[in-house]
Amino acid sequence: MEKALGSEELSYDITDNHGHVPVMRERMAALIESPVAALGDRAVILDGTLGAGGHTEYFLSQFPQAMVIGLDRDEHSLADARKRLEPFGERFLGLHCRFDQFEEPLAEAAAAGARPAQVVQEAGFAGALFDLGVSSMQLDQVERGFAYRVDAPLDMRMDDSTGITAADVLNTYSHGDLARILKNYGDERFAGKIASAILREREKEPFSTSGRLVELLYATIPAASRRTGGHPAKRTFQALRVEVNRELEAIENVIPVVVDKLAPGGRAVFMSYQSLEDKIVKRLFKEYTTSKTPPGLPMDLPEFAAKYRLVTRGAEKANEQEIADNPRSAPVRVRAIEALT
């Protein structure tokens, strides 16, 4: 990858990355490098899934003229990231919000005089990155209830100050709704059987900890099926997390907003780790990059021409070296779109 404009590139040490290696960081920087370079000191990058701040730190180091606005619904993660990114001063702005609800806090920050917010309101984003799914920081915080290998409260909220918990889902949803989310969000073969077991168990005592749910799953999923496909709780925990945080709804909502706020030539990059996420990104990207000219006409009409183009050919994957260096990158699928006007 060519370096960004200027010779004042800051050093970046992966050993000082707070224990969390950002997935495909060099490739993410390469995908947004052209518009960032073109906009110079008016280049603003949106990190829609700030997490530990690894991608943002790398962008700020690689592109010394650029600014980054980072979003996170998790106040704990946001506080840690702000502290980590203090050396970059006003080039970084952190906003507490769900990533599809950033417009209001962005406008408030601009009105308050935050330069990154003011610039992006005038010029649009040079680049935007969404590293979807649960962050490694949240997985590593046992008390948050995301991990199924330890007993912890069944919370799973990325923003633990609001919304329903995984325990609420288990204790209040109907059999049909439980089976639906297990099947649709977790691709769980035994969704109906597990839902029935949950209803029986919660009549005895409401669910409160992950350990009890894991025990139920071991007892419900046939032994032959438990021997393949990873941990038997993996699919159920994923489904609960997606439901609690309305993750797919947020992706559907944010893509129209973020592509509309790209500067000419600006690029939005989405990193998906499960097929449901990737299907949404693929479908919406296709919609935005397809001409709306009525069928049967001999040529595209300018007013119906596509305003965006695909940057990636299909979904890019991590290479062998990336996976060896960072096993969490193995399932990632990357798609990027560029604003033409």
Same domain, 27 and 70: yes
Does residue 180 register a pLDDT over 80?
yes
Consult the annotation and say whether 54 binds a ligand. yes
Same domain, 222 and 320: no
> Residues with Cβ < 8 Å from 81, sequence gap 6 or more?
50, 51, 52, 53, 56, 70, 72, 94
Give the CATH number for residue 256: 3.40.50.150
Band of pLDDT at residue 296, cut at 50, 70 and 90 = confident
Residue 7 lies in a domain: no
Consult the annotation and say whether 145 binds a ligand. no
User: What's the mean per-residue pLDDT of the chain?
Assistant: 89
Consult the annotation and say whether 100 binds a ligand. no
Residue 160 has a pLDDT of 84
Residue 9 lies in a domain: no
| Spatial separation of the C-alpha atoms in residues 17 and 292, rounded to whole Å | 45
The pLDDT tens digits of the residues spanning 44-102 come to 999 999 999 999 999 999 999 999 999 999 998 899 999 999 999 999 999 999 999 99
| Spatial separation of the C-alpha atoms in residues 250 and 254, rounded to whole Å | 6
Provide the domain limits for residue 177.
141-245
Residue 161 lies in a domain: yes
Same domain, 261 and 335: yes
Consult the annotation and say whether 118 binds a ligand. no
Consult the annotation and say whether 99 binds a ligand. yes
Q: Do residues 320 and 326 make contact, with C-beta atoms less than 8 angstroms apart?
A: no
- pTM equals 0.86
Consult the annotation and say whether 138 binds a ligand. yes
Average pLDDT over residues 268-281: 95
Q: Do residues 329 and 273 make contact, with C-beta atoms less than 8 angstroms apart?
A: no
Work out the burial of residue 126: count CB atoms within 10 Å of its CB; fewer than 13 is exposed, 13-18 middle, 19 or more buried.
Answer: buried
Q: Are strands 125-131 and 67-72 parallel, antiparallel or unpaired?
A: unpaired
The helix/strand count (H/E) of the chain reads as 15, 7
Q: How far is CA 60 from CA 151, 183, 201, 270, 328, in A?
A: 38, 41, 50, 19, 23
